[in-house]
A and B are shown apart, each in its own frame.
Chain A
Amino acid sequence: QLQLQESGPGLVKPSETLSLTCTVSGGSISSSSYYWGWIRQPPGKGLEWIGSIYYSGSTYYNPSLKSRVTISVDTSKNQFSLKLSSVTAADTAVYYCVTSGGDYYGMDVWGQGTTVTVSS
């Protein structure tokens, strides 16, 4: 069964780039899922989709974040990553990596989440 684990700095300075990695275990990132993605949740608030990368290599981003987001896959490390540039305090959140067997099937595997605080 697939498992996901987020990693990365817990504190990022304003205007810098937030970089997170999601390590996939229990299967190959090259063949195990339909898409890989990132979701975030600001403190005390709801869930926000950040973006997804599909098995085909296509990427889709939330229009509200598109100019600042990059999602990529590293098959050699069985990982995928998130980069969010020019962060502000509004980017403080718990960041989750997710995967799914298909758009119809919902996001059925989630990482435990990692808290990122943007502060000087």
Chain B
Amino acid sequence: EIVLTQSPGTLSLSPGERATLSCRASQSVSSSYLAWYQQKPGQAPRLLIYGASSRATGIPDRFSGSGSGTDFTLTISRLEPEDFAVYYCQQYGSSPRWTFGQGTKVEIK
């Protein structure tokens, strides 16, 4: 089973700052089947990034994903007020087929 570890657990930043979120896998993730989601309180998660670096439909270009193998990064170039939320990475594997990281909370400093 591939375990995803996200860091930091909480990121305290101000609007306009750059956010860098890390997702590390315990084994190599096949073919960059790595996705990122944003979740706001009381809402369902929203797909931001798939294939490690491709933005989902309607996602602003301040969100970008990168990485391969075991190390992946979600970058928010300039935080907008609506970006303060919890972010999860997710990978596709063999068993279990899908696993999530534990999440990184981006909070207002």
In the bound complex, how far is the Cα of B29 from the Cα of A103, in angstroms? 13
The residue that B96 contacts in the complex, of A64, A96, A106, A110, with Cβ under 8 A, is: A64
Question: Shortest beta-carbon distance, B78 to chain A, in Å?
Answer: 24
Query: A52 near B102 (CB under 8 angstroms)?
Result: no
Query: A106 near B47 (CB under 8 angstroms)?
Result: yes
Q: 27 A-B contacts, Cβ less than 8 Å apart? A: A37-B98, A46-B100, A47-B45, A47-B90, A49-B97, A62-B96, A62-B97, A63-B1, A63-B96, A96-B44, A96-B45, A103-B92, A104-B33, A104-B50, A105-B51, A106-B47, A106-B50, A106-B51, A106-B90, A107-B35, A107-B37, A107-B45, A107-B90, A108-B47, A110-B44, A110-B46, A112-B44
In the bound complex, how far is the Cα of B95 from the Cα of A105, in angstroms? 18
- Chain B contact patch, size range: 20 to 34
Known contacts A64-B96, A105-B50, A108-B47; is A46 also within 8 Å of B88 by CB?
yes
Query: B45 near A106 (CB under 8 angstroms)?
Result: no
List residues of chain B with CB under 8 Å of any chain A CB.
1, 31, 33, 35, 37, 43-47, 49-51, 56-57, 88, 90, 92, 95-103
- Chain A contact patch, size range: 20 to 34
The residue that B100 contacts in the complex, of A49, A52, A113, with Cβ under 8 A, is: A49
Question: Shortest beta-carbon distance, B39 to chain A, in Å?
Answer: 8
Chain A residues near B90 (CB-CB < 8 A): 47, 106-107
The residue that A48 contacts in the complex, of B44, B51, B100, with Cβ under 8 A, is: B100
